[in-house]
Amino acid sequence: MIIETHVTGEKVQTTEEDFMFYISEFKRYQQAFNLLDWEVNYQWESMNDCRACIQINVEGKLATTCLNRDYDVMYDEAEISKCAFHECMELFLGTLTCKAAMRFIREDEVEEATHTVIRTLENVLWEPGWEQDATAILEEKATRERAEAKAKKAALKSLKKSSKKSKEKDAKENGLRKER
């Protein structure tokens, strides 16, 4: 579904409805990745180099994200949702990025930021029993591969047996011909 657009020269203008959709998608991802301790402000303005952006104040847990009024391509809801996801992931990794860029940082600070990311991914992506599902899939694949190998071996054995019978028949016929 193409969202209503207003073309201005080479750019495509986003609408207020697009901006509201961007905000709702950003909030959805913010909640999904447990970033609710961040205060996020939203802006809708013209920018030169991007479709959306985010500025992050790690110490204050404050961020401002902006959707560009002047998009550089035709877009749809999926494109705006993807931009909201991208900027939310910038927020998600913001503390880690900030710590990694510091000139003087203690090793435990990077480790803490890394584990914050890992714990969030555990809470969002990991489900009890996922390893059992993965094991079952691998076992099913191995069983299928064994069955295929067994079938190939049986087919080869049958082919060899058939070839041997054919040779014996040929030899027998050749023997009978020699006797006559």
Per-residue pLDDT tens over the stretch 89-104: 999 988 888 877 777 7
Q: What is the band of 35 on the pLDDT scale with cuts at 50, 70, 90? A: very high
Asked whether the predicted pLDDT for residue 61 surpasses 90, the reply is yes
CA distance 69 to 12: 8
Asked if residue 130 has pLDDT above 60, the reply is no
Is it the case that residue 6 has pLDDT exceeding 90?
Answer: no
Q: What is the pLDDT of residue 177?
A: 63
Domain that holds residue 21: 6-92
Say if 85 falls within a structural domain. yes
**Total-model pTM:** 0.59
Residues 68-95, mean pLDDT to the nearest whole number: 87
Question: Does residue 139 form part of some domain?
Answer: no
The CATH number for 82's domain is 3.30.2010.10
76 within a domain of the structure (yes/no):
yes
d(CA 80, CA 14): 10
Predicted local confidence at residue 99, as pLDDT: 78
In a domain, 160, yes or no: no
Higher pLDDT, 122 or 117: 117
Structural domain total, the chain: 1
Q: Which pLDDT value is given to residue 135?
A: 65
In a domain, 150, yes or no: no
Q: How confident is the model at residue 137 (pLDDT cuts 50, 70, 90)?
A: low
Residue 134, pLDDT > 80, answer no
Residue 31, domain member (yes or no): yes
Question: What average pLDDT score do residues 117-146 get?
Answer: 71
- Dig out the tokens for 177 from the structure: 């011909």
Residue 154 belongs to a domain? no
- Residue 102's SS3 state is coil
- pLDDT at position 102: 76
Tracing tokens 């939310």 back to the chain, one arrives at: 88
3-class SS string, the chain: CECCCEEECCEEECCHHHHHHHHHHHHHHHHHCCCCCCEEEEEEECCCCCCEEEEEECCCCEEEEEEECEECCCCEHHHHHHHHHHHHHHHHCHHHHHHHHCCCCCHHHHHHHHHHHHHHHHHHHCCCCHHHHHHHHHHHHHHHHHHHHHHHHHHHHHHHHHHHHHHHHHHHHHHHHHHC
Tell me whether residue 143 is exposed, middle or buried, using C-beta atoms within 10 angstroms of its C-beta: 0 to 12, 13 to 18, 19 or more: exposed
